[in-house]
């Protein structure tokens, strides 16, 4: 690459894009009350929200993998009537305002919802205002990111390896496990990280579906939102904490996994 | 498109009077507390019928609106559910001389049919019910805290909603068994919410202040709207919605 002329216009446009992401960060750092940061972050509200956010977002990312990978495989490999409709429905949460998604979840799985009411009557369990409501809302908004990423990888996969394994007598599930999954591993990791990141930052669907209670359903984004009105320094400190956690996780995963990616994202 | 250009043009020629008062053109932006959402729409319609000024309304939790105004949001009028937020803006010289234009009572709201059989404020200590309040940061949450203190119970709340509207909607669809809301919310719900009175002697009167924003670019039109709300026509609309006189 060295010595070859680079199209300056691309670099200029890329710099504008970088500025768009860096400027808000500078704004945040500029108003951060550095001397009181430790005390603000040691607050019980912040600690509770951090613990809740970390485990609910990781649980959601796990559920996204568990259900999203099979879904991506079905969308990519099984031909059926209405496949493009299902694909559109699955990606809907990426387009829908999260508040609308949360309200829709409430109408379906709330205590008076079409599924939620029988669930409440039979087993006495309901999602809203519980930590499982947070996990469900997170999974709802995050899974499309995993499905889209993994389906893309599956669709661009050369079918010859799977065909060879099958002709050598491997069962379909063995082919999937031993051939398909390893070949799409980089995309699967990328999709799982995207899903985690989306779940970690989720706000609208969570507050609408699961409510807001410290220690039970108040994740970091909700803590930022309710603090912003009354205790702005705390809100800024929590925002900074979210940025720090996200950058650490994204960079750690990128250097550990994506640097050795044989195909797909990263290099 | 033509309307938009006209608005932009009017905004660009601020200082050139559109109504002989030195105001810029364009709508008057009213920041209103969540609990005023319905009544402020009625006030807007009645005012626009007698004045050629357009009113735009942005409704949210009072404290969120207060922060937006502190951060320079282009509001012309502020109407809150709490004198505390307004006092903060007065201290910062961001509003002119506020006046209280309405009062409101707090009440217990249950969904139509009162499925959980909530009878009094004491039921807020019952762990098995799904109970809600506003977050302490917004006025209705502060008032609810005062009520629980007066009654002397430790409420077993399942959610602290960021504004009263998201709270009332969760009661109305039956996801919450009961919540502490404003009396006007019950009145405006068309029967979706049923009110249960607080014990006699337990009452918190919410006061609603209104003021023109100090650096409004339509101060005269904004003042006309405030005068309208404080005047007899505004009073009768507020009465109808259940807001008390100051």
Residue A214 with chain B: CB contacts under 8 Å: 160
So what's the pLDDT on residue A262? 47
**A99 → chain B, closest CA residue:** B166
So what's the pLDDT on residue A231? 81
Residue B132 with chain A: CB contacts under 8 Å: 211
Average pLDDT, chain A: 90
Q: Which residues of B35-46 are buried (b: 16+ CB within 10 A; e: fewer)?
A: bbbbbbeebbeb
**A227 → chain B, closest CA residue:** B137
User: Is A211 in Cβ contact with B170 (below 8 Å)?
Assistant: yes
* Strands B99-111, B205-212: pairing kind: antiparallel
Give, in words, the CATH class of A38-260: mainly alpha
Tokens of B99: 């006046």
pLDDT tens per residue, range B167-218? 999 999 999 999 999 999 999 898 999 999 999 888 888 999 999 999 898 9
Q: Which residues of A46-79 are buried (b: 16+ CB within 10 A; e: fewer)?
A: bebbbebbeebbebbbebbbeebbebbbebbeee
**B174 → chain A, closest CA residue:** A112
Mean per-residue pLDDT for A83-93?
95
Rg (CA), chain A: 22
pLDDT tens per residue, range A184-237? 998 999 999 999 999 999 999 999 999 999 999 999 999 998 887 778 889 999
Residue B180, Cβ density class (10 Å: 0-12 exposed, 13-18 middle, ≥19 buried): buried
Total number of residues shown for chain A: 267
* Strands B159-161, B99-111: pairing kind: unpaired
How far apart, in whole angstroms, are the C-alpha atoms of residue B74 and residue A129? 36
User: Is B162 in Cβ contact with A226 (below 8 Å)?
Assistant: yes
CB neighbourhood size of A16 (10 A) = 8
End-to-end Cα spacing for chain B: 43
**B163 → chain A, closest CA residue:** A226
User: Is B132 in Cβ contact with A229 (below 8 Å)?
Assistant: no
pLDDT in tens, chain B (246 residues): 334 444 443 444 333 344 445 566 789 999 999 889 999 999 999 999 999 999 999 998 888 899 899 988 999 999 999 898 999 999 999 998 999 999 999 999 999 999 999 999 999 999 999 999 999 888 899 999 999 999 999 999 999 998 898 999 999 999 999 999 999 999 989 899 999 999 988 888 899 999 999 989 899 999 999 999 999 999 999 999 999 998
Quick check: pTM over 0.90? Answer: no
How far apart, in whole angstroms, are the C-alpha atoms of residue B37 and residue B34? 5
Tell me the domain boundaries of chain A: 38-260
More confident residue, A47 or A253: A47
More confident residue, B16 or A88: A88
Q: Any chain A CB within 8 A of the CB of B141?
A: no
Please give the full DSSP string across A116-166, using - where no structure is assigned: HHHHHHHH----TTSHHHHHHHHHHHHHHHHHHHHHHHHHTS-THHHHHHH
Task: Catalogue all structural domains in chain B, each as residue range(s) with its CATH number.
Answer: 25-103+207-240 (3.40.190.10), 105-205 (3.40.190.10)
Mutate to test the interface with B, among A48, A211, A232 (most CBs of B within 10 A): A211
So what's the pLDDT on residue B22? 52
pLDDT tens per residue, range A123-137? 989 899 999 999 999
CB neighbourhood size of B11 (10 A) = 12
């Amino acid at each position: 690459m060295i010595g070859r002329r680079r199209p300056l216009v691309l670099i200029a446009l890329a710099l504008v894009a970088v500025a768009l992401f860096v400027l808000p960060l500078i704004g945040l750092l500029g108003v951060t009350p550095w001397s009181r940061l430790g005390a603000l972050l040691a607050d019980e509200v912040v600690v509770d929200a951090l613990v809740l956010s970390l485990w609910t977002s990781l649980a959601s990312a796990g559920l996204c993998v568990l259900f999203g990978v099979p879904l991506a495989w079905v969308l990519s490999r099984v031909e059926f009537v209405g496949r493009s409709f299902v694909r559109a429905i699955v990606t809907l949460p990426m387009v829908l305002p999260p508040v609308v998604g949360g309200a829709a979840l409430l109408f379906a799985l709330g205590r008076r919802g079409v599924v939620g009411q029988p669930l409440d009557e039979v087993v006495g369990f309901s999602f809203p205002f519980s930590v499982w409501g947070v996990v469900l809302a997170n999974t709802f908004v995050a899974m499309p990111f995993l499905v889209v990423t993994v389906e893309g990888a599956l669709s661009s996969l050369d079918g010859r390896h799977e065909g060879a394994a099958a002709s050598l007598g491997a069962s379909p599930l063995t082919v999937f496990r031993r051939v398909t999954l390893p070949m799409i591993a980089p995309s699967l990791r990328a999709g799982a990280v995207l899903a985690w990141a989306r779940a970690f930052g989720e706000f609208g669907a969570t507050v609408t579906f699961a409510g807001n209670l410290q220690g039970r359903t108040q994740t970091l984004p909700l803590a930022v939102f309710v603090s912003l009105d009354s205790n702005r320094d705390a809100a800024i400190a929590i925002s900074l904490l979210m940025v720090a956690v996200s950058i650490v996780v994204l960079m750690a995963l990128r250097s550990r996994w994506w640097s050795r990616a044989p195909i797909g994202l990263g290099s | 498109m033509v309307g938009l250009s006209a608005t932009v043009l009017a905004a660009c020629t601020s200082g050139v009077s559109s109504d002989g008062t030195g105001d810029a053109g364009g709508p008057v932006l009213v920041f209103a507390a969540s609990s005023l959402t319905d009544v402020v729409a009625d006030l807007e319609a009645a005012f626009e019928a007698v004045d050629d000024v357009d009113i735009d309304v942005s409704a949210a939790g009072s404290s969120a609106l207060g922060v937006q105004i502190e951060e320079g949001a282009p509001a012309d009028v502020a109407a809150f559910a709490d004198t505390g937020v307004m006092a903060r803006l007065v201290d910062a010289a961001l509003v002119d001389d506020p006046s209280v234009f309405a009062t409101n009572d707090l009440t217990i709201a249950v969904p139509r049919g009162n499925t959980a059989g909530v009878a009094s404020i004491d039921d807020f200590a019952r762990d098995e019910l799904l109970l809600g309040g506003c977050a302490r940061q917004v006025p209705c949450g502060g008032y609810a805290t005062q009520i629980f203190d007066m009654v002397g119970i430790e409420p077993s709340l399942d959610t602290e909603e960021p504004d009263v509207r998201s709270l009332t909607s969760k009661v109305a669809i039956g996801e919450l068994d009961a919540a502490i809301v404003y009396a006007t919310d019950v009145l405006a719900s068309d029967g979706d919410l049923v009110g249960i009175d607080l014990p006699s002697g337990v009452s918190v009167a919410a006061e609603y202040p209104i003021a023109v924003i100090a650096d409004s670019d339509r101060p005269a039109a904004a003042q006309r709207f405030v005068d309208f709300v404080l005047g007899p026509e505004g009073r009768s609309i507020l009465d109808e919605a259940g807001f008390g006189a100051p």
